[in-house]
Chains A and B, each alone.
Chain A
């Protein structure tokens, strides 16, 4: 066998190709094996799914407690590996969402306290999933879990503002309390002169600026404050319109907020 010269080189190349080819074939053998196993797993999962589905359809056909327990375990287990529950998630009875709901109610207590009693739903989504690490929940799961809170006794609730922003807040949260804090804030001499921004309110109320803005908009809706939109930004002032007399626009009552405002702006 020639091992030198051109033919030698050619033969070496040939040998190399042949051995590469063989190892590729071996590798694909393993993949093929994996594929066929995976196929088996899918068939198995399907079978289980169908069994559970048929099982839940004839609840009254003498299934005993033990069977029920196993079935629920099975559902949870399927869900945790990412296979959708055969009992549709839309049904309020889905155990998955019930458990999630309880878990969530416990989880939100601490962040809620730190956020001053109100927290954006998007922030909870991030915090919760970060805490879970794996088995992340979808935004839809979160929303469903929150809506289930109505059904059982929790100290927290989901709330949607006119602007569309959704937050989680304590049931004991009082809008009026927030409004009176806002009123004191906008009545201070500096605020009378320049108004307040959402960031200013955020610092005083101890909440996130986005939450502060929602509170200010709500206060505006109640007629407590008015907006001032300019190149300087979006600010709120105490609402003086009700203080202006419709019959005499030059009239200023003594001791009212209007006269306080006039003093405040004159002193600058």
Chain B
């Protein structure tokens, strides 16, 4: 089986039609479904948070069969993810896409669990510490995309679980948990 980093590629990754946007509705629906799942799973294992359409994204080409997804196909599959709420366009031109292999709600739950497991219920942390501090190592929070983290934190703030404030240093925000 072929690998892409630590990700195991399925057999159909070597099937040339998989890389051509299919015109027949039933076939296309199946194709889109397969690509959506592949993208989400690959991004989760490789911790990819943003896909740039004009950049070389390894999952979108297979040199072994000399096939690559066209720009139109990439946009089609990512748009399907956006429609499902598993991705968001970061710009109007649809050139960058934020991948929510965990939904924002899932990230929020992960933050709550992280706080409880580390006994941080009443403490204060910077946003940066949440995603790169010692406590985060070994958890999925480690290295999480800042945009996603802020969205999850804001969701929790809205639920009254924490408060976000401007920190002492000019460029980082802090979080006061009150779980």
Chain A residues with a Cβ under 8 A of chain B: 195, 220-221, 223, 226-230, 232, 235, 237, 239-242, 244, 246, 249-250, 252, 258, 261-262, 265
Asked if A240 and B67 make an inter-chain contact with CB atoms under 8 angstroms apart, the answer reads no
CA distance in complex: A242, B24 (Å): 13
For A228, give its contact among B12, B16, B26, B38 (CB under 8 Å).
B16
Produce 1/0 per residue, B56-69, CB < 8 A to A: 00000000001100
Asked if B27 and A223 make an inter-chain contact with CB atoms under 8 angstroms apart, the answer reads yes
| B159 CB within 8 Å of chain A | no
Asked if A226 and B38 make an inter-chain contact with CB atoms under 8 angstroms apart, the answer reads no
Q: Shortest beta-carbon distance, A256 to chain B, in Å? A: 12
Q: Shortest beta-carbon distance, A163 to chain B, in Å? A: 12
Asked if A240 and B12 make an inter-chain contact with CB atoms under 8 angstroms apart, the answer reads yes
Asked if B27 and A249 make an inter-chain contact with CB atoms under 8 angstroms apart, the answer reads no
Asked if A228 and B20 make an inter-chain contact with CB atoms under 8 angstroms apart, the answer reads yes
Q: How many inter-chain contacts with C-beta < 8 Å in the A-B complex?
A: 64
CA distance in complex: A261, B12 (Å): 10
Nearest-CB residue, chain A, relative to B66:
A230
Q: Which B residues touch A235, using CB under 8 A?
A: 16
Q: Shortest beta-carbon distance, A172 to chain B, in Å? A: 28
Q: Which B residues touch A240, using CB under 8 A?
A: 12, 15, 17
Given A232-B66, A241-B30; 19 other pairs, CB 8 A cutoff: A195-B16, A195-B17, A223-B24, A228-B16, A228-B19, A228-B67, A230-B16, A235-B16, A237-B17, A241-B27, A241-B34, A246-B30, A246-B33, A249-B10, A249-B34, A249-B38, A250-B1, A250-B8, A252-B11
Produce 1/0 per residue, B7-42, CB < 8 A to A: 010111011110110111011001101100110000
Chain B residues with a Cβ under 8 A of chain A: 1, 8, 10-12, 14-17, 19-20, 22-24, 26-27, 30-31, 33-34, 37-38, 66-67
Q: Shortest beta-carbon distance, A219 to chain B, in Å? A: 10
Q: Which B residues touch A220, using CB under 8 A?
A: 23-24
Nearest-CB residue, chain B, relative to A222:
B24
Could you give 15 example pairs across A and B, Cβ below 8 Å?
A: A195-B16, A223-B26, A227-B20, A229-B20, A237-B16, A239-B27, A240-B12, A240-B15, A241-B17, A241-B22, A241-B30, A244-B34, A246-B33, A249-B12, A249-B38
Asked if B10 and A250 make an inter-chain contact with CB atoms under 8 angstroms apart, the answer reads yes
Asked if B26 and A262 make an inter-chain contact with CB atoms under 8 angstroms apart, the answer reads no
Asked if A265 and B34 make an inter-chain contact with CB atoms under 8 angstroms apart, the answer reads no
CA distance in complex: A262, B10 (Å): 11
Nearest-CB residue, chain A, relative to B20:
A229
CA distance in complex: A241, B18 (Å): 9
Q: Shortest beta-carbon distance, B170 to chain A, in Å? A: 47
Nearest-CB residue, chain A, relative to B30:
A241
For B17, give its contact among A227, A232, A249, A258 (CB under 8 Å).
A227
For A230, give its contact among B20, B37, B38 (CB under 8 Å).
B20
Asked if B15 and A237 make an inter-chain contact with CB atoms under 8 angstroms apart, the answer reads yes
Of listed B19, B20, B23, B37, residue having the most chain A CB within 10 A: B20
A-B complex: 9 closest residue pairs judged by Cβ atoms: A226-B17, A228-B16, A241-B30, A249-B10, A229-B20, A228-B17, A237-B17, A228-B20, A241-B27
